[in-house]
Amino acid sequence: MSNWLESAVTRAETVSDWLSPKREASLALLREAKVPTRKTEAWKYTPVRAIDQVTVSTEVSASVQVESIDDLNSVDLVFINGEFDAAQSSSELPAGLTVSRLVDADDSARAWALSAFSNIKPDRHLFGLVNDVLATDGALIDVAEGVEIEQPIRIVSLLTQGAEAHTRVLVRLAERSKVAIVEQFLGNEASYNTGFAEYDVAAEAELEHYRFATQVNEALSIGGSHFNLGEKAQLNSTLIGFGSKLSRVDVDVTHAGSHAFAKMNVIYLLDGKELFDLHSTVEHAVPHGTTEENVRGIVADHAKVVFNGRIHIHRNAQKTLAELNNRNLLMSRTAEINTKPELEIYADDVRCAHGATIAELDKKALYYMQSRGLSRSQAQVMLNFGFINELVEQMPNQVLAEWLRPQLKARFAQMEVG
Amino acid sequence: MMSSEKVLLKIDNLSAKVEEKSILKGLSLEVKPGEVHAIMGPNGAGKSTLGYVLSGREGYEVQSGSATLDGVDLLEMEAEERARAGLFLAFQYPVEIPGVSNLEFMKASVDAQREARGETSLSSAEFLRLAKAACKQVDLPLAFLKRGVNEGFSGGEKKRNELMQMLLLQPKLCILDESDSGLDIDALQVVAEGVNSQRTEDRSFIIVTHYQRLLDYIKPDYVHVLADGKIIRSGDASLALELEEQGYAWLTEKEA
Amino acid sequence: MTEQIDKVLEREYEAGFVSDIESETFDPGLNEDVIRRISAMKEEPEWMLDWRLKAFAAWQEMVEPEWAHVDYQKIDYQAISYYSAPKSMADKPKSLDEVDPELLRTYEKLGIPLIEQQMLAGVAVDAVFDSVSVVTTFRDKLEEAGVIFCPISEAIKKYPELVKKYLSTVVPMKDNFFATLNCAVFTDGSFVYIPKGTRCPMELSTYFRINEQNTGQFERTLIIADEGSHVSYLEGCTAPQRDENQLHAAVVELVVLDGAEVKYSTVQNWYPGDENGKGGIYNFVTKRAVCHTDAKVSWTQVETGSAVTWKYPSCILKGDNSIGEFYSVALMRGAQQADTGTKMIHIGKNTRSTIISKGISAGRSNNSYRGLVRMNPGAEGARNFTQCDSLLIGDKCGAHTFPYVESKNPTAIVEHEATTSKVSDDQMFLCQQRGLDPEKAVSMIVNGFCKEVFKELPMEFAVEAGKLLEISLEGSVG
């Protein structure tokens, strides 16, 4: 056993609270767990040894300011190094929305949280188990039946130098409710965090979801967003991944009710020596579900990306429509792309397809643009941006899209090519 | 048109449902050899259903009534047996069968039908000659013989391909289901000429259409109006013109 | 409709008879002594025995792989007999006249006539029965062209330099559990050498037959295509219907030197077990080619047999401009399971690969495509195109796609696509409306689905494969 895993188990033994009954099951699994190696399919391309190399200190600075997103008018929930920061968080909530902290949840919040906790997130995620046993703070978000929350809810998790944090988010959308939730991860110093969120989307509810896994440099960030979709529920999710020393996201979508619709767009942009690893799994457990997954990425310099996109159609899931498309641009001779779209199909009357491509920027287009007087790097930025902008444009919240664009462009501008 | 006392197709008080929904509600129709019948009617009247029920498509359940072809009970037969008995349906939306060439498909079909009639199968060379002629007649390039059945064909090409199959199979009764929909005027004429060339004293046609324009080129002996699952009015070719001018509303209203 | 199709898919295994031939068979069990005895039976040189023992030692340290999407009873390696040969083979026949007539009848029954004058013109056959090569036809004619086509056991004695130089250079001794086992216990197989600039004057073909009970078949094939040469090689296999599972763990190595071309086609029809999954062959095979500069390898496989198939014919595209192709049809029904695909390792510049995989799943079967396309940093301008299509027949089977795509070179282009479909009610109805019965309709639609692969097979095999598929689908013995 490695230090981090051993230490997680040891520390977990001292955690005791209302979630303990749920934590125990995860702890039992964790005790049996092995540290992933190259032979562990889910970690084939991503070494985890970096976690043992980060120096975690108990004395971390917590006085940092989180930037707001102009014009978003969001309900902010800010966690600094895993602890809720009331001063930076919104104090007023719109009607129909209940938010509690994990540490001081009342009985009614505890009741539903206990049924959701670790039930939507599959227990095969090793770091999800770590989060199960160590996350002592986080948010419980409850949207009442039939309520449409206009303000997006923005959950920020910021890590400072030397911090280790485990935060957990549980979200419940009651029937016919509607909400947008942004999970934002910040902090580029050496730190280690796990951030997992579970979403229970009831019948006919609509969830707009964003995860900005944009920590870079020294940060080690492992987490996941996991969704359970009821009948006719709708999920529209956008994931942005930058990549750092170790950045791993697991996404699971389960179609538990029929006629649900899931749209997932993913953009990853990697530079330097960054690593980004995304594993997504869509479970079609019932008939008449629809999934559209579009994953696009650009990988430059010495960066490495790993994408594993699995679609699993269960025996009973007739009339499923599921498509996954993964397109990659490889910008440099030292960068690396590993992609594995998977289909596992047990029902015959379904329409499923996946595709994956890896190529470089269109040289002819590049030359054409240069011939009109653009510099090579200008042309590159434009072409790169064009490649991903289609997905940016599809973001339902255009304020977020506007906020995001310059950050994406800045990434292209600095990308090391060659 | 030539007409005899013999009846080729006899439908008597036919009722049928699809997925628990009644579509045909006591439809009767007699078609004698050599006759051309047009069946017109508003959308959802059951026009396509009639073709599917007669040709034995799965999911179309006959509740009562009868249908015979040449005196033989059609409804007891499997779909392929009905085809071999001489019933041909030109589909409104022909399905694609990737990888199976048109030629291969038609040869197999013709062989199966000849075998059922106790005839020897055609040699490949003989068949190829017939297929080429049919292909030319429907104005499709010969390359279409080698392409997968309906694979990547345009709407018009699919319709002409249906007609080509009809030319090769030489059926007794041809049911053309909206063979004119989506065709430009040139393609429409090709289809009409193809049908007209096949009119003989023992081959009959049922032309299912929403519009009158195909009937400018294929003169029907009878025109029937199908509404709410049964024939509510029959007449000669002039009925079609009347329908063109006045629509269907006056008929269905009167009926109600 | 599904019921109708299911009925069509029930069929009997045509090659399931047992031949009544007296055999000399080792008692079940595996140890160093068994390996020494195999080596002695084959009158092998010392170096060969040493090589085998080294492999055996390595194998004992290895564990059986479990990553494939297949599920089968653990194999008891001590319950298998590792050598079985017809008694009449004690003195190897010099010509067909000396071959046991019962053996000849067996091959005739399988539609593989070995009597030369009856043979399809232009196909030379090596027939391997249980552990030994029975006969190789047309050897004289091939020798005239300088082509060596003989049992590998013979090549070890007659052409030790060639064998030593190339054996296990493509599939290393410790490559994987089954390949290592094969190194230790292989008994026979084919050896082919095509000299520089030679176009092999005829198709070469090997037919494998497992007859004895409780035996495993471990054949080893080594094909060396010297610079600028060309050969087309076909392989077929059958086994009797038995209630026990039998293991077939073969290794095929292709060495394709500069500018040479090898076309390797397989029609795999091992006994698949009964409807309930009882019996049948475990087909755990390692096939790989190394392509040097401007070389080309084309793997074409039609897989209809075996209870469990685990096989990934692969190409290491080492030389610049080399080409790898993989065309596969796998039809699984009953309780069959297949986990098959390919690996294309692009090392050289401007290397190209094409993968077309057609999986058909019916009954309660599971059919998986598993593939790897890797663009190494040096694979400038390399290209890959992969198309994996699955056809599901009925709602009790499974069709799966697990492609690994890895690229480290920005000038390389990789494209992978996968789709699934079913035999639709509309297609069935169109066929029936034109007078075709359901059996014919299904087999026509399935054949159409496989067309891209069938057109890659050599003529005689294409006919055989089409027929095999039709038999598989027809349910009648005909």
C432/B80 CB distance under 8 A: yes
Note whether residue C374 is domain-resident. no
Same domain (yes/no): C44, C183: yes
Nearest to C410 among A318, A343, A360 (CB): A360
Interchain CB contact of B153 with C (< 8 Å): no
- Which chain C residues are closer than 8 Å to B148 by Cβ? 448
A352/C395 CB distance under 8 A: no
Q: With H, G, I as helix, E, B as strand and everything else as coil, classify residue B39.
A: strand
Closest-CA residue to B29 (of B11, B48, B47): B11
B109/C430 CB distance under 8 A: no
Q: Does pLDDT of C119 surpass 60?
A: no
Closest-CA residue to B40 (of B221, B226, B228): B226
The domain boundary residue, chosen from C276, C311, C346? C311
Which range in A360-369, C268-277, C362-371 is most confidently predicted, on average pLDDT? Answer: C362-371
**β-strands C203-209, C123-129 pairing:** parallel
The domain total for chain B is 1
Nearest to A348 among C375, C404, C422 (CB): C422
Note whether residue B148 is domain-resident. yes
The shortest C-alpha distance from A178 to chain C (Å) reads 34
- Which chain B residues are closer than 8 Å to C448 by Cβ? 97-101, 148-149
Rounded-to-integer distance, Cα B88 and Cα C350, Å: 54
Q: Does pLDDT of C117 surpass 50?
A: no
Q: Does pLDDT of C477 surpass 50?
A: no
Q: What is the helix (H) or strand (E) element at residue A414, kind and residue range?
A: helix A398-414
Please tell me which residue of chain A has the smallest CA distance to C65.
A39
Nearest to A340 among C404, C407, C411 (CB): C404
Looking at residue C476, its pLDDT comes to 23
Question: Taking a contact as any Cβ pair under 8 Å apart, which residues of chain C between 417 and 436 contact chain A?
Answer: 417-422
C414/A348 CB distance under 8 A: no
Q: Does pLDDT of C335 surpass 80?
A: yes
Q: How many residue pairs from chains B and C have C-beta atoms closer than 8 A?
A: 84
Q: Does pLDDT of C460 surpass 80?
A: no
Note whether residue C174 is domain-resident. yes
Interchain CB contact of B182 with C (< 8 Å): no
- Which chain B residues are closer than 8 Å to C356 by Cβ? none
Nearest to B83 among C425, C434, C450 (CB): C434
Q: Answer whether C touches A (≥3 Cβ pairs < 8 Å).
A: yes
Which range in B69-78, C82-91, C444-453 is most confidently predicted, on average pLDDT? Answer: B69-78
Mean pLDDT of chain C: 85
Looking at residue C96, its pLDDT comes to 60
Same domain (yes/no): C295, C428: no
Report the sign of the C-alpha dihedral through residues B117, B120, B125, B126, in that order: negative
Phi/psi at A57 (nearest 5 deg)?
Answer: -115, 155
Prediction ipTM score = 0.90
Same domain (yes/no): C295, C436: no
Note whether residue C450 is domain-resident. yes
Rounded-to-integer distance, Cα A381 and Cα A366, Å: 10
- Which chain C residues are closer than 8 Å to B116 by Cβ? 435
Q: Does pLDDT of C124 surpass 90?
A: no
- Which chain A residues are closer than 8 Å to C408 by Cβ? 333, 335-337
Which range in A363-367, C27-31, C384-388 is most confidently predicted, on average pLDDT? Answer: C384-388
Looking at residue C57, its pLDDT comes to 94
C397/A354 CB distance under 8 A: no
Nearest to C403 among A341, A344, A360 (CB): A341
Interchain CB contact of A318 with C (< 8 Å): yes
Q: Does pLDDT of B256 surpass 60?
A: no
Nearest to C432 among B83, B91, B169 (CB): B83
Please tell me which residue of chain A has the smallest CA distance to C379.
A333
A356/C414 CB distance under 8 A: yes
Strands (E), C12-169: 23-25, 84-86, 123-129, 132-136, 148-151
Phi/psi at C130 (nearest 5 deg)?
Answer: 50, -115
Residue A73, Ramachandran bin (φ over 0: left; ψ between -120 and 50: alpha; else beta)? left
Same domain (yes/no): C283, C427: no
What tokens does C98 get?
């000396």
Interchain CB contact of A356 with C (< 8 Å): yes
Closest-CA residue to C140 (of C129, C131, C149): C149
- CATH code at position B59: 3.40.50.300
Note whether residue B232 is domain-resident. yes
Residue C316, Ramachandran bin (φ over 0: left; ψ between -120 and 50: alpha; else beta)? beta
- Which chain C residues are closer than 8 Å to B88 by Cβ? 433
Note whether residue B1 is domain-resident. no
Note whether residue C355 is domain-resident. no
A357/C419 CB distance under 8 A: no
Query: Which chains have 3+ CB pairs within 8 A of B?
Result: C
Interchain CB contact of C3 with B (< 8 Å): no
* C2, C69, C349, C408, best to mutate vs chain A, most A CBs in 10 Å: C408
A348/C394 CB distance under 8 A: yes
Please tell me which residue of chain A has the smallest CA distance to C413.
A359
CB A185 within 8 A of CB A213: yes
Those residues whose C-beta lies under 8 Å from the C-beta of residue A144, and which sit 6 or more positions away, are A96, A97, A98, A174, A177
Low-confidence ranges of chain A (pLDDT < 50): none
Note whether residue B56 is domain-resident. yes
Rounded-to-integer distance, Cα A152 and Cα B96, Å: 47
pLDDT in tens, C93-104: 556 666 666 666
CB C306 within 8 A of CB C281: yes
Q: How many residue pairs from chains A and C have C-beta atoms closer than 8 A?
A: 108
Please tell me which residue of chain A has the smallest CA distance to C365.
A346
Interchain CB contact of C403 with A (< 8 Å): yes
The shortest C-alpha distance from C442 to chain A (Å) reads 15
The domain boundary residue, chosen from C311, C344, C361? C311
* C62, C66, C407, best to mutate vs chain A, most A CBs in 10 Å: C407
pLDDT in tens, A292-332: 999 999 999 999 999 999 999 999 999 999 999 999 999 99
* Least confident window among A320-324, B228-232, B234-238, C466-470: C466-470
What tokens does C90 get?
């004690």
A358/C67 CB distance under 8 A: no
For C371-375, what is the mean pLDDT? Answer: 97
Note whether residue C358 is domain-resident. no
Looking at residue B255, its pLDDT comes to 47
Domain range for B162 is 9-255
Looking at residue C478, its pLDDT comes to 21
Domain range for C169 is 2-311
Cα Rg of chain B (Å, integer) = 18
C427/B116 CB distance under 8 A: no
The shortest C-alpha distance from A386 to chain C (Å) reads 19
The domain total for chain C is 2
Note whether residue C11 is domain-resident. yes
C436/B109 CB distance under 8 A: yes
pLDDT tier at C122, thresholds 50, 70, 90: low
C447/B148 CB distance under 8 A: no
B105/C444 CB distance under 8 A: yes
Interchain CB contact of C393 with A (< 8 Å): yes
Looking at residue A252, its pLDDT comes to 98
Same domain (yes/no): C453, C307: no
Looking at residue B134, its pLDDT comes to 93
The shortest C-alpha distance from A128 to chain C (Å) reads 23
The domain boundary residue, chosen from C311, C334, C366? C311
pLDDT tier at C209, thresholds 50, 70, 90: confident
Interchain CB contact of A355 with C (< 8 Å): yes
Note whether residue C357 is domain-resident. no
Looking at residue C118, its pLDDT comes to 44
Q: Does pLDDT of B55 surpass 60?
A: yes
With b meaning 16 or more CB within 10 Å and e meaning fewer, what string describes A291-318? bebbbbbbbbbbbbbbbbbbbbbbeebb
Nearest to A339 among C67, C405, C421 (CB): C405
Those residues whose C-beta lies under 8 Å from the C-beta of residue A85, and which sit 6 or more positions away, are A62, A66, A78, A79
C444/B100 CB distance under 8 A: yes
The shortest C-alpha distance from C62 to chain A (Å) reads 15
Nearest to A345 among C399, C403, C404 (CB): C399
Please tell me which residue of chain C has the smallest CA distance to A39.
C67
Report the sign of the C-alpha dihedral through residues B74, B78, B82, B88, in that order: positive
Note whether residue B4 is domain-resident. no
Interchain CB contact of C278 with A (< 8 Å): no
